[in-house]
Amino acid sequence: MIETNNNRSLMMLHIAVMLFGLSGVIGKWTSVPSYAVAWGRSLCSACLLFCVMKGRKMDLRLSGKSDYMLALAGGIVLAVHWTTFFLSIKTASVAIGTMTFSAFPLFVTFIEPAVFHEKLERRDIILAMLLLVGVAVTVPELSLGNQTTMGIIWGLVSAATYAALSLINRRLSAKYDGMKVCFYQQSTVALVLLPVVAMADVIWTQSDILGVGSIGIICTATAFSLFVSAQRYVNARTAGVVSGMETVYGIIFAAVMLGELPSLREVAGGIIILAAALTSTLKGKSNG
């Protein structure tokens, strides 16, 4: 029975990560700007999460003003993260967007010890430098006029903001259910980006609505629920390893659905980034 639960949970975990990887491909396929994709994604996901939590009769309140402010800050950071992630993909490619996002441990390495007063180890610095090498290999030329280079820059901003978000969530997840944290942050994203979308007078086609709705409902809320449920029978280290497959799934989906094939330079840089990120994840899980 335990083995059956483990196998089922592992399958759920892979499905969740595949859906995470699919979000970038659908985002690339839509014609609306990246901030509109981020807004629609957050709106759809927050609404679904609200319905699920009400159905489970979960208490939606937080403990105090400081937690509300922290959740609000996390939502603002998430708005920047999702916007720059989709901007990276739309500017360059799904491969560039997902690979540079995977470099977020580079930023966590130096920010986390400062915030939580933890020791910065030599091995962490070496892994961070390896991530930096991977990103450098991927850069075709040092020119802001190059689409791939700009995509990498936006991807690094996405990675940096995700690193900041992970540190905020480290505090919140110690007190609250992950679904509640996601609901507050994604609701904030929807509110923060609403004026931007309204003032830009974005034109939505039927396919855009379908695509962004799919990202929010299927690739975000549903994928998150599967990911959390799977962790009941799968240990944190396994979850970390499978999560590293998001970039691989994203590139495969992009190749099949969009005809995007990464260059040899991107493949080489991606292997270095993923190897360093995976090593950092395994190290963090084993220490935790």
* pLDDT tens profile 69-96: 999 999 999 999 999 999 999 999 999 9
Residue 237 pLDDT: 59
Give CA–CA dist 222/230, Å, rounded. Answer: 12
* pLDDT tens profile 130-189: 888 888 888 887 677 889 999 999 999 999 998 889 888 878 878 888 889 899 999 999
* Residue of 98, 128, 101, 103 whose CA lies nearest to 113: 128
The residue among 237 and 134 whose pLDDT is bigger is 134
Q: Where are the domains of the chain?
A: 2-287
Give CA–CA dist 21/14, Å, rounded. Answer: 10
Q: Please tell me the chain's helix, strand, coil percentages from 3-state DSSP, rounded to the nearest 5.
A: 80, 0, 20
DSSP state letter for 205: P
Query: What's the token pair of residue 221?
Result: 């809320």
Task: Give me the DSSP letters along 69-111.
Answer: HHHHHHHHHHHHHHHHHHHHHHHS-HHHHHHHHTTHHHHHHHH
* CA 210 to chain centroid: 21
For 197-209, b/e burial (b = at least 16 CB within 10 A) is beeeebeeeeebe
Binned at pLDDT 50, 70 and 90, residue 241 comes out as low
Q: Which residues have C-beta within 8 Å of that of residue 5, sequence separation ≥ 6?
A: 233
pLDDT higher than threshold 90 for residue 103: no
Beta carbons of 27 and 91 less than 8 angstroms apart: no
Query: What's the token pair of residue 6?
Result: 């483990």
